[in-house]
Chain A
Amino acid sequence: MFEVLGFEFFRNAFIAGMLASIACGIIGTYVVVRRMVAISGGISHAAFGGIGLGYYLGIDPLAGAAGFTVATALGMGLLQLRAKQQMDTLIGAVWAAGMALGILFVYLTPGFAPDLFSYLFGNILLVPRGDILLMAVLTAVIIAVVAFLYRELQAVTFDPDYAKVMNLPVEGLSLLLLVLIALTVVMLIRVVGIILVIALLTIPAAISRIHATRIWSMMLGAAALGIIFTVAGIWLSYLADVPSGATIILVSTLAYAGALGLERLRQGG
């Protein structure tokens, strides 16, 4: 299997997969324990609107997606916190509107938008050098923020009411978490595509949660599992000559099913 490392694009793919796994392990842990899987789905589909906007304005689609996605995440968060809107309905609306905007913007853009397919389904084998640098910076930012605010984020995700009684800035921390999710989603769009972002964000964290007793151990476990899944997925997709993003996700899903099955056997036995 090591001959694939001779190709630069494979090396880049492995590095991108690792960075994505670390970021996903950390942010996905909060997504899973705070039950924010649906909102992450809404945010990632809203990102499609941002990509379309990027094409339309003639700027880097990823930059468009970043700005648009962060704004959407903040808007949803504020609506939930202030207006107490029913969240699942809101998520459904944002989800649909984001996709629709993306389609419209791309339609209105003169000429053909060449990379659209890779944003929808991702292509980890085509990650350019510059994107890897961007991912490294973002991963470092996520690690720094979480290390700095670990106790506060723990209190807010475990029991937000109690955090409020203790005068923690619950609203600010909740919005910060949504911004981190949005940034992670945007970063992952290149690697596995919008459709598959949710899986990489949730499956490693969900498996890791089964045996984790602390937030940081759940993060470490999720990051390690994510790295295993992406490396195994890329390698298998190379062997079978099939799309890598989809393979990574199927490997993860099978591992999740296996972990759930094992846990069931253990509890039953």
Chain B
Amino acid sequence: MNTPVIEVDDVWVRLRGQTLLEGVSLKIYPDDFYAIIGPNGGGKTTLLRVILGLLTPCRGEVRINGSRDPAMRKYLGYVPQFRAFDFQYPITVREMVLSGRLGHITHRPRRYGREDHARVDETLKTMRITELADRQIQNLSGGEQQRAIIARALVSDPKVLLLDEPTVYVDAPTTVEFYDILDHLRRRMAVVLVTHDIGVLPGRVTRVACLNRRLYTHDNAEITPDMIEAAYHCPVDLIAHGVPHRILPEHPED
């Protein structure tokens, strides 16, 4: 049995008197395509921030590759929410992707070496944005911007790719293309996808968990009505509109 790349162990987060996460435990294995769903404000982004070391939990701990060392974060690739970006920032696609290598550079001052540039060229090619390398990120389409953001996460050879609501601000064809890319990537690394949109979950997801302060897990890729009810605190209609890969079970007949 392989060891988990990420272990979240009984994590509690309280901010300004509000409990955002309550005893959340989670293990992510190298071959996982893990989807975490749940309502807005359910703590999905908070959980990602705890895993990334951007937020210190008041109880519990996170281990990456079995270690609590912050240096282990270089094995994480992070794709933040689209709206978190200032696309007006004067930076080219190549510079932005290169910056993803900074965590691997140990000498000071940090300078990009030949290997860094080679890895960037390779990643730009993987994401099919080589010809956009010298454009400013503002002058790209939404789908191209998203591929550039993923490229920055991939260029550091992560063991896990963490994605926060990646499809919220992109159109339907881009979403389809995006899931094709993820399909390709998951052969190389674990993928953790956080979304409130249960209609877009692709068929390739290996495990699903519902998060609404507490985490409701299920060890296969099925969302059961009681998981949803537990997480959303109300019955939810499991309908996916026009999505080819459904993982949602049929409605139980009366």
Residues of A in contact with B (beta carbons under 8 Å apart): 33, 148-149, 151-152, 154-155, 157-159, 161-168, 209, 212-215, 217-218
Report B72-113 CB contacts with A as 1/0, cut-off 8 Å: 011010101000111011111001100110110000011110
Least CB separation from A166: chain B residue: B103
CB distance from B128 to the nearest CB of A (A): 21
Question: Are B91's CB and A167's CB within 8 A?
Answer: no
Residues of B in contact with A (beta carbons under 8 Å apart): 52-54, 70-71, 73-74, 76, 78, 80, 84-86, 88-92, 95-96, 99-100, 102-103, 109-112, 134-136, 152, 156
Question: Are A154's CB and B85's CB within 8 A?
Answer: no
Question: Are B76's CB and A158's CB within 8 A?
Answer: no
The listed residue (B86, B88, B100, B103) touching A167 by CB distance below 8 A is B103
Contacts of B74 in A (CB 8 A): 166-167
Extra 10 A-B pairs, beta carbons < 8 Å, given A154-B95, A214-B95: A151-B99, A158-B91, A159-B99, A161-B80, A161-B84, A164-B53, A165-B76, A166-B103, A167-B74, A212-B90
The listed residue (A152, A167, A168, A218) touching B90 by CB distance below 8 A is A218
Bound CA–CA A212/B78 (angstroms): 27
Question: Are A152's CB and B102's CB within 8 A?
Answer: yes
Question: Are A152's CB and B110's CB within 8 A?
Answer: yes
Least CB separation from A213: chain B residue: B136
Least CB separation from B134: chain A residue: A213
Least CB separation from A155: chain B residue: B99
Question: Are B91's CB and A214's CB within 8 A?
Answer: yes
Contacts of B156 in A (CB 8 A): 166
Contacts of B53 in A (CB 8 A): 164-165
Q: Which 3 A-B pairs have the closest CB atoms?
A: A166-B103, A213-B136, A212-B90
CB distance from A129 to the nearest CB of B (A): 34
The listed residue (B78, B85, B90, B136) touching A165 by CB distance below 8 A is B78
CB distance from B151 to the nearest CB of A (A): 13
Question: Are A33's CB and B103's CB within 8 A?
Answer: no
Bound CA–CA A168/B102 (angstroms): 8
The listed residue (B78, B110, B112, B136) touching A162 by CB distance below 8 A is B78
Contacts of B112 in A (CB 8 A): 151
Bound CA–CA A158/B87 (angstroms): 9
Contacts of A149 in B (CB 8 A): 109
Least CB separation from A209: chain B residue: B90
Question: Are A167's CB and B89's CB within 8 A?
Answer: no
Bound CA–CA A149/B111 (angstroms): 10
Contacts of A209 in B (CB 8 A): 88, 90
Least CB separation from B153: chain A residue: A162
Bound CA–CA A155/B53 (angstroms): 17
The listed residue (A148, A166, A214) touching B73 by CB distance below 8 A is A166
Contact A217:B90 (CB < 8 A) given known A167-B73, A167-B103: yes
Question: Are B102's CB and A163's CB within 8 A?
Answer: yes
Contacts of B71 in A (CB 8 A): 167
A-B contact list, 27 entries, CB within 8 Å:
A151-B110, A152-B102, A152-B110, A154-B91, A154-B95, A158-B86, A158-B91, A159-B85, A162-B80, A163-B102, A164-B54, A165-B73, A165-B103, A166-B73, A166-B100, A166-B156, A167-B103, A168-B102, A209-B90, A213-B92, A213-B134, A213-B135, A213-B136, A214-B92, A214-B136, A215-B90, A217-B90
Bound CA–CA A161/B51 (angstroms): 12
The CB with the most chain B CB atoms within 10 A, among A158, A162, A165, A214, is that of A165
Bound CA–CA A152/B103 (angstroms): 10
Bound CA–CA A167/B106 (angstroms): 11
Question: Are B90's CB and A214's CB within 8 A?
Answer: yes
Question: Are B89's CB and A158's CB within 8 A?
Answer: yes
Least CB separation from B77: chain A residue: A165
Contacts of A151 in B (CB 8 A): 99, 102, 110-112
The CB with the most chain B CB atoms within 10 A, among A148, A162, A213, is that of A162
The CB with the most chain B CB atoms within 10 A, among A164, A212, A213, is that of A213
Contacts of B90 in A (CB 8 A): 33, 209, 212-215, 217-218
Bound CA–CA A154/B73 (angstroms): 20
CB distance from B56 to the nearest CB of A (A): 12
Bound CA–CA A152/B78 (angstroms): 18
Question: Are B91's CB and A215's CB within 8 A?
Answer: yes
Contacts of B88 in A (CB 8 A): 33, 209
Bound CA–CA A157/B95 (angstroms): 13
Contacts of A164 in B (CB 8 A): 52-54
Bound CA–CA A140/B91 (angstroms): 25
CB distance from B16 to the nearest CB of A (A): 10
CB distance from B99 to the nearest CB of A (A): 5
CB distance from B62 to the nearest CB of A (A): 13
CB distance from A161 to the nearest CB of B (A): 6
The CB with the most chain A CB atoms within 10 A, among B80, B100, B110, is that of B110
